Amino acid sequence: MSLLELQSVSKRFGGLTANQDVSFSLEKGQIVGLIGPNGAGKTTLFNCVAGYFPPSAGSITLEGQPIAGLPPEACARAGVGRTFQIARTFTSMTAAENVLSGALLRERKLRKAREAAMRWLAFVNLDRFADKPSGSMTISEQRRLAVARALATEPKLLLMDEVMAGLNPSEVRETVDVVLKIRDQGIACLIVEHVLEGIMPIADKIVVLDRGAKIAEGPPAEVSRDPAVIHAYLGDE
């Protein structure tokens, strides 16, 4: 049984079809890249998996249990963690307090939740910022802080939305190292990414969307040679 399975997932907003019959699966501890041109429907699909949008059709299961249509907090309790394109940190709170807000989903004892928050801060190499306001951190650091907060909810599946976008090469490498460490914890990662040089070397599988539909799925080397993928990114020329 797959950890996450999407079967014929569609999402419509009135007359606009954002996702059309998308199916794929993801296994425990697997890194899957979700790529495609701007407007391909990647973030909409994320929102369906994370509970922000109910799909218009199709099914989404986590460890065989249906999660499609559940609210975000129920998806989080089921084991879906999520970060956003724009790092959504509580800028007036310290880094430790930000991660603590995630840890309290599972741990009601404040002392243990704080201990968990500090472990995850250290995991993403941000423990030195524990007592500093997150608003004073760089974009790269805030994105890793958002990852730590999501990890503190103890997810089985972590959705990361463009976590490498706008980063310099050294920051991309640091983020890649964090993703690999997450995989080593047995946590599956589904990553929307435009920085292909960051996701292609580490992904076990790539899923490509274009105009809301899946046009390719497979190992990175195979997908990168697919004529339909090349056309979607580069056009006929």
Question: How confident is the prediction along the chain (237 residues), in pLDDT tens digits per residue?
Answer: 899 999 999 999 999 999 999 999 999 999 999 999 989 999 999 999 999 999 999 999 999 999 999 999 999 999 999 998 887 888 889 999 999 999 999 998 999 999 999 999 999 999 999 999 999 999 999 999 999 999 999 999 999 999 998 899 999 999 999 999 999 999 999 999 888 888 999 999 999 999 999 999 999 999 999 999 988 886 655
CA distance 78 to 73: 9
Residue 81 near residue 161, CB atoms below 8 Å: no
Cross-strand pairs, 94: 133
Closest by Cα among 47, 69, 40, 59 to 206: 40
What domains does the chain contain, in order, with CATH numbers? 1-79+157-237 (3.40.50.300), 86-154 (no CATH)
Q: Is 63 exposed, middle or buried (0-12, 13-18, 19+ CB in 10 A)?
A: middle
pTM of this prediction? Answer: 0.93
